[in-house]
């Protein structure tokens, strides 16, 4: 299999891969959600005639009671799931790597080749992902420290909040730019089969030539995802799972999974753009 | 004039039953204050002088007075208020900038006697505290006589801690003047040190206070305030209030003011700049609350109400009630969050105008009569206005104040009795859970079990009998007995005084064909074997379930039976005895039993054991929601 030309790199060429990745996320999500929901069902909620509808009923009596009586256990189970979460995040990162590899290849995808190519790049991709996360965390800490130094005049609460919001926006922009840069570096790793240093150098080159695209090119796709999530929240509200009917749960499940597929598709679209960036700058 | 004093004593005293007592139009003036106060803003000091008039309405001569000097709670960390190493009161704060009061002069006009030299600390059992002093009289004050005390004092305000003090040029001045302890009908004084868990108690009277502040300051104060002549660079206001028992005020140049006449009351809202939305929410809430509470607990009788929203940095001066003045609090963006915190704190503090202000129960001895009943009133009002989402609405969830209070109440409810002194609680956290949340849940339970209309009538009776009369728990019990019956009053007394609790639970549910007739039968025609497969479907089913009541509250509940054909049936249990055995025979299989299906008993210790089914249904909705959140988490929230 050979690499596609810059003009051919499109997410829409890989619908199967996008669905497979959404499926991967669904499987990982199941591993995380199952133990918690089993605990909730076993708390007496599953014994109610109306089932767990009561958790979503107006007033929130049973929800508050569940958190009061089982909050510590839910927290303990959630803590116990941290290794599963770490493994799932690694799997998701690797799956994103597979997405980059798949988008870059020409012709019909063969699973073995996709996996072997992804596996070859996985350590570097994971290292880059971990490093990016760490750098973003450091930015957050710096933001918190800077926030404490901001003056809060007694009689100017709105400007004070605006100052805080501006600082957070700055931190978010820096973290977002770092994330965009990291994705471009990942694209370079995959596209040019390069080492980490070379990939970072290419990413810097992209930033120099197209600073906005290389750092914030993901923003339109993030907005698509956010719009989908907001629309789904509105529609699931209309489904009102506090009322009887298995169809309501099924409809909400379908809506939420559509959001996840949209999220993966949006990421694929951004990755395709990142691949185009490193392909044309090479 | 002993008869007159006795009659007056009756009006403020506590005979056994007041359930049908008519409301008083005015309070008996026992302790009245005419004071002048000058704020030295840069030094955060208040200089005061004036007179205090004490009317001996009792039938016994008074030989001593007790004065509360509550600003001394912030004088040093040996005061009862600040002594705890864990921090003081509800905020858990330590003192940073000290506050105190120095009384310069206390002269009894009718006795021609300077009383202050003979004063002595009197905080019961506490030699180090300086918030409660005894002042012996040189001659007894006879029944029916009035004593005029000329007083001079100097106050140094603390940095804001527990509702009083300053931050920069913002000043909130409460518990600031030498205040007479409440004179009881038997001639004793209900005096007590400023306890970090306690609020206050005082006699009614008239307050005439002239405030002298920097010229640019906006002032909020108890009573009706009118400008009076002032010196250059200063501003003076004379504030007058009748039928009240405390006086607080605030002064800050940056306050923005909104004003509206509603239900005949001149309502002012003072907020920091940028809090326009909060001001509007507070005005809307007060407009609703004056009508809502007025219809239930009697008309708000004062011509003014001032709502003070402190700046965030002085938030500890918020969330408090004084006669005709309440304080709220919260950030400027609070109304946009989905939580109804501003509405809740406003309606809560407004409700205090009745339970604290007009009724004036002893908040030290029985805080539940104020904070507890007022929390119930708050939750009812919020539910009436906002429905199921009275506390929070968002993320596809509606959470009510009652649900939150119920959860807090259930967590700590049996730890201590509700009806005990503020200082007797383990901690303020315990007091908060039991006095605020458990009392509110108790009255919500009475309302749901015995009828909202009946409880409204009972509380209206109580309000009428309590207005200007310093009520005690017996009046409340009488009112509940009168409208809800002996059973309700018995449950109320147990819940208040005996740590009584209740947990209804379903222990067992079984259902089977009523007459299977499977097996080997010797009949006239010979021996016949009937296999089980031949008896389906059965014509009749029998069902059996056990519902238990743990605890000593005997509250009537309903028990709902659910059948496999979707049918439901309700049974009534009066709550007597410790168990109710459900026996059923009918055309469909019994698949589930729920006790208290409408969640009327909010005092129920555990809601998760109120139902049982023959087959567990799992939690598909919770699973779906958790799955979605997990998938979002794995995606980092963004693509």
- Reported as a single tens digit per residue, the pLDDT across B106-158 is 999 999 999 999 999 998 788 899 999 999 999 999 999 999 999 999 999 99
pLDDT at A6 over 80: no
* Residue A25 touches chain B, beta carbons under 8 Å: yes
Asked which of A192-196, B207-211, B572-576 is least confident by mean pLDDT, the reply is: A192-196
Distance of CA A260 to the CA centre of its chain: 9
- Reported as a single tens digit per residue, the pLDDT across B585-613 is 999 999 999 999 999 999 999 999 999 99
pLDDT at B2 over 60: no
Contacts of A148 (CB under 8 A, 6+ apart): none
Mutant choice from A18, A39, A157, A272 vs B, greatest count of B C-beta within 10 A? A157
> Is the preceding omega at residue B435 within 30 degrees of 0, hence cis?
no
Q: For residue B445, what pLDDT is reported? A: 98
Q: If you measure CA to CA, which chain B residue comes closest to A50?
A: B617
Partners of A252 on chain B (C-beta within 8 Å) are 621, 624
**DSSP label at B364?**
T
**Where on the phi/psi map is residue B629: left (φ > 0), alpha (ψ -120 to 50), or beta?**
alpha
- Report ipTM (2 d.p.): 0.93
- Reported as a single tens digit per residue, the pLDDT across B34-86 is 999 999 999 999 999 999 999 999 999 999 999 999 999 999 989 999 987 77
Confidence label for A7 from pLDDT (cuts 50, 70 and 90): low
Q: For residue B4, what pLDDT is reported? A: 43
Q: If you measure CA to CA, which chain A residue comes closest to B623?
A: A37
Partners of B388 on chain A (C-beta within 8 Å) are 57-60
Q: For residue B11, what pLDDT is reported? A: 43
Q: For residue A280, what pLDDT is reported? A: 81
Report how far residue A281's alpha carbon sits from residue B25's, in angstroms, rounded to the nearest whole number.
87
3-state secondary structure B456-504: HHHHHHHHHHHCCCCCCHHHHHHHHHHHHCHHHHHHHHHHHHCCCCEEE
Q: For residue A4, what pLDDT is reported? A: 66
* Residue A40 touches chain B, beta carbons under 8 Å: yes
Q: For residue A248, what pLDDT is reported? A: 94
CB contact under 8 A, B311 and A236: no
Sign of CA dihedral B196, B198, B199, B203: negative
Is the distance from CB of A98 to CB of A120 less than 8 angstroms? no
- Reported as a single tens digit per residue, the pLDDT across B375-432 is 999 999 999 999 999 999 887 788 999 999 999 999 998 899 999 999 999 999 999 9
- Reported as a single tens digit per residue, the pLDDT across B238-291 is 999 999 999 999 999 999 999 999 989 999 999 999 999 999 999 999 999 999
Confidence label for A106 from pLDDT (cuts 50, 70 and 90): confident
pLDDT at B93 over 80: no
pLDDT at A216 over 60: yes
pLDDT > 70 in chain B, percent: 95
| DSSP sequence for A157-222 | HHHHHHHHHHHHHHHHHHHHHHHHHHHHHHHHHHHHT--HHHHHHHHHHHHHHSHHHHHHTTHHHH
Q: For residue A243, what pLDDT is reported? A: 87
Report how far residue A175's alpha carbon sits from residue A140's, in angstroms, rounded to the nearest whole number.
8
Q: If you measure CA to CA, which chain B residue comes closest to A23?
A: B631
pLDDT > 90 in chain B, percent: 84
Confidence label for B5 from pLDDT (cuts 50, 70 and 90): very low
**Which residues numbered 222-251 in A keep a CB inside 8 Å of some CB on B?**
222, 224-226, 229, 233, 236-237, 241, 246, 249
pLDDT at A1 over 80: no
CB contact under 8 A, A33 and B396: no
- H or E stretch at B306: strand B304-308
What is the arithmetic mean of pLDDT over A206-210?
Answer: 92
Mutant choice from B252, B411, B624, B636 vs A, greatest count of A C-beta within 10 A? B624
* Residue A263 touches chain B, beta carbons under 8 Å: yes
pLDDT > 70 in chain A, percent: 96
Min Cα separation A49/chain B (Å): 6
Domains and CATH numbers, chain B: 1-7+28-252 (2.60.40.1730), 254-500 (1.10.390.10), 502-621 (2.60.40)
Confidence label for B95 from pLDDT (cuts 50, 70 and 90): confident
Rg (CA), chain B: 30
| DSSP sequence for B156-190 | EPPBSBTTBEEETTEEEE-S-S-EEPEEPTTS-EE
Dihedral angle, C-alpha B349, B351, B353, B354, nearest 10 °: -160
Partners of A63 on chain B (C-beta within 8 Å) are 397, 399, 403
Partners of B624 on chain A (C-beta within 8 Å) are 241, 249, 252-253, 256
Q: For residue B17, what pLDDT is reported? A: 42
Q: For residue B14, what pLDDT is reported? A: 38
């Amino acid at each position: 299999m050979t690499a596609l030309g810059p003009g051919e790199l499109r997410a829409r060429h890989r619908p199967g891969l996008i669905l497979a990745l959404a499926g991967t996320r669904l499987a990982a999500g199941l591993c995380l959600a199952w133990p918690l929901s089993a605990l909730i069902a076993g708390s007496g909620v599953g014994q109610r005639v109306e089932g767990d509808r009561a958790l979503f009923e107006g007033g929130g009596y049973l929800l508050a009671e569940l958190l009061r009586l089982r909050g510590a256990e839910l927290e303990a189970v959630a803590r116990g799931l941290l290794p599963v979460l770490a493994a799932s995040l690694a799997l998701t990162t690797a799956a994103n790597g597979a997405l980059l590899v798949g988008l870059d290849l020409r012709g019909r995808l063969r699973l073995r080749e996709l996996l072997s190519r992804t596996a070859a790049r996985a350590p570097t991709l994971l290292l880059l992902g971990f490093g990016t996360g760490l750098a973003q965390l450091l930015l957050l800490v710096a933001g918190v420290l800077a926030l404490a130094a901001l003056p809060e005049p007694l009689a100017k609460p709105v400007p004070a909040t605006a100052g805080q919001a501006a600082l957070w926006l700055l931190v978010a922009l820096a973290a977002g730019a770092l994330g965009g840069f990291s994705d471009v570096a990942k694209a370079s790793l995959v596209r040019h089969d390069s080492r980490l240093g070379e990939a970072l150098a290419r990413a810097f080159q992209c930033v120099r030539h197209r600073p906005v695209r290389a750092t914030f090119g993901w923003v339109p796709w993030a907005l698509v995802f956010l719009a989908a999530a907001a629309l789904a929240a509105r529609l699931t509200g209309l489904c009102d799972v506090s009322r009887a009917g298995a169809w309501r749960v099924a409809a909400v499940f379908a809506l939420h999974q559509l959001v996840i597929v949209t999220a993966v598709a949006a990421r694929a679209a951004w990755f395709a753009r990142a691949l185009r960036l490193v392909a044309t700058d090479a | 004039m002993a008869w007159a004093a006795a009659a007056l004593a009756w009006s403020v005293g506590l005979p056994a039953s007041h359930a049908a007592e008519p409301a008083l139009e005015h309070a008996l003036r026992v302790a009245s204050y005419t004071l002048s106060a000058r704020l030295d803003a840069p030094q955060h000091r208040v200089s005061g002088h004036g007179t205090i008039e004490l009317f001996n309405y009792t039938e016994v001569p008074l030989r001593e007075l007790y004065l509360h000097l509550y600003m001394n709670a912030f004088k040093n960390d040996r005061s009862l208020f600040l002594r705890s190493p864990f921090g003081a009161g509800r905020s858990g704060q330590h003192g940073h900038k000290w506050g105190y009061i120095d009384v310069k002069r206390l002269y009894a006009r009718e006795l021609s006697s300077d009383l202050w030299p003979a004063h002595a600390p009197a905080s019961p059992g506490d030699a180090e505290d300086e918030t409660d002093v005894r002042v012996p009289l040189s001659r007894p004050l006879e029944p029916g006589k009035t004593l005029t005390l000329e007083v001079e004092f100097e106050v140094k305000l603390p940095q804001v801690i527990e509702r009083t003090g300053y931050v920069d040029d913002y000043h909130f001045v409460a518990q600031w003047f030498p205040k007479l302890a409440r004179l009881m009908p038997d001639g004793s004084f209900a005096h007590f040190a400023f306890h970090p868990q306690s609020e206050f108690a005082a006699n009614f009277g008239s307050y005439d206070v002239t405030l002298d502040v920097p010229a640019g300051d906006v002032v909020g104060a108890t009573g009706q305030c009118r400008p009076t002549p002032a010196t250059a660079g200063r501003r003076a206001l004379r504030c007058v209030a009748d039928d009240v028992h405390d006086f607080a005020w605030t002064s800050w140049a940056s306050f923005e003011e909104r004003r509206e006449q509603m239900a005949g009351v001149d309502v002012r809202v003072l907020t920091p700049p940028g809090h326009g939305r909060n001001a509007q929410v507070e005005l809307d809430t007060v407009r609703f609350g004056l009508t809502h509470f007025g219809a239930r607990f009697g008309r708000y009788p004062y011509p003014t109400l001032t709502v003070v929203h402190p700046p965030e940095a002085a938030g500890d001066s918020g969330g408090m009630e004084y006669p005709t003045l309440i304080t709220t609090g919260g950030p400027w963006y609070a109304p946009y969050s989905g939580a109804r915190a501003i509405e809740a704190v406003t309606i809560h503090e407004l409700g205090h105008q009745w339970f604290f202000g007009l009724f004036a129960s002893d908040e030290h001895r029985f805080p539940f009569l104020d904070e507890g009943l007022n929390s119930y009133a708050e939750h009812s009002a919020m539910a009436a206005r906002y429905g199921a989402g009275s506390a929070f609405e968002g993320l596809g969830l509606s959470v009510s104040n009652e649900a939150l209070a119920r959860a807090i109440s259930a967590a700590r409810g049996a730890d201590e009795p509700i009806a005990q002194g503020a200082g007797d609680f383990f901690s303020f956290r315990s007091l908060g859970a039991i006095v605020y949340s458990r009392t509110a849940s108790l009255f919500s339970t009475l309302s749901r079990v015995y009828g909202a209309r009946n409880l409204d009538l009972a509380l209206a009776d109580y309000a009428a009998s309590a207005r200007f009369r310093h009520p005690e728990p017996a009046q409340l019990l009488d009112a509940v007995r009168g409208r809800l019956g002996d059973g309700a009053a018995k449950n109320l007394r147990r819940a208040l005084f005996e740590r009584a609790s209740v947990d209804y639970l379903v222990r067992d549910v079984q259902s089977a064909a009523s007459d299977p007739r499977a097996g080997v039968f010797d009949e006239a025609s010979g021996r016949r074997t009937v296999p089980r497969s031949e008896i389906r479907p059965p014509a009749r089913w029998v069902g059996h379930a056990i519902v238990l009541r743990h605890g000593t509250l005997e509250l009537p509940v309903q028990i709902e039976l659910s059948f496999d054909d979707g049918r439901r049936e309700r049974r009534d249990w009066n709550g007597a005895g410790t168990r109710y055995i459900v026996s059923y025979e009918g055309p469909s299989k019994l698949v589930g039993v729920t006790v208290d299906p409408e969640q009327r008993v909010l005092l129920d210790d555990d809601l998760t054991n109120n139902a049982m089914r023959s087959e567990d249904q799992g939690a598909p909705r919770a699973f779906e929601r958790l799955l979605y959140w997990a998938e979002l988490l794995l995606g980092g929230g963004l693509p």
